[in-house]
């Protein structure tokens, strides 16, 4: 059982990775104890660089909507804002757009009207490339072992100038 929060406490409910699922009873118990904010991470580096490079979400839209509907309803019932970080996987603009679309569908299905604040953090690779020399940052070089592993897998490696997605991490 979760203890009720006192007036001087600020409680955040986090469900972990959005779209991986969580017990509805756990969310209900936390909400019953009192929340000021509901927050969830919607990204991870666990699946590897493919999803960052591809811009595709790595969690199914069905599971994402299931989790999101529960969190949206909990937020609406308690008047607590809902904050989602690293939207859609790696937080690329396309992944953010996909999550926003799912959120709008979930809101409509629930009959709830809420404002959405959307923060996109994908950087233009050309701007980054042009700004790197003046920044003092230098790209690290892959180790000899890494290069050998990549050639064995026949993946090769792209020149750094071919980076298609660069995400700025906030926080």
Would the pLDDT of 151 be above 50? no
Which stretch of 27-36, 41-50, 123-132 has the lowest confidence by average pLDDT? 41-50
- State residue 107's pLDDT score: 97
Q: Could you tell me which residues are beta bridge partners of residue 54?
A: none
**Which residue would you say has higher pLDDT here, 20 or 49?**
20
DSSP per residue over 12-32, as a string?
EEEEEETTS---HHHHHHHHH
Give the contacts of 99 (CB within 8 A, at least 6 positions apart). Answer: 42, 57, 64, 84, 87, 88
Inter-residue contact 90 to 122 (CB < 8 Å):
no
Locate tokens 């233009």: which residue?
A: 124
The answer, yes or no, to whether residue 100 has pLDDT greater than 80, is: yes
C-alpha triplet 112, 116, 117: angle, nearest 5°: 160
What is the reported pLDDT for 76? 94
Q: Give the whole-number percent of the chain exceeding pLDDT 90.
A: 20
Residues 6+ apart with CB under 8 A from 117: none
């Amino acid at each position: 059982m979760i203890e009720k929060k006192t007036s001087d406490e600020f409680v955040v409910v986090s469900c972990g990775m959005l779209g991986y699922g969580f017990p509805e009873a756990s969310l209900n118990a936390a909400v019953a104890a009192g929340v000021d904010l509901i927050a969830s991470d919607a990204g991870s580096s666990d699946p590897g660089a493919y999803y960052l490079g591809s811009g595709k979400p790595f969690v199914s839209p069905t599971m994402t909507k299931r989790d999101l509907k529960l969190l949206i309803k909990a937020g609406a019932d308690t008047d607590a804002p809902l904050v989602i970080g690293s939207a859609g996987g790696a937080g690329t603009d396309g992944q953010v757009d996909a999550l926003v679309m799912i959120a709008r569908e979930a809101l409509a299905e629930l009959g709830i009207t809420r404002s959405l604040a959307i923060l996109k953090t994908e950087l233009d690779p050309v701007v980054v490339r042009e700004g790197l020399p003046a920044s003092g940052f230098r790209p690290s070089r892959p180790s000899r072992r890494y290069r050998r592993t990549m050639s064995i897998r026949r993946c090769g490696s792209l020149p750094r100038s071919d980076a298609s997605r660069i995400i700025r991490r906030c926080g």
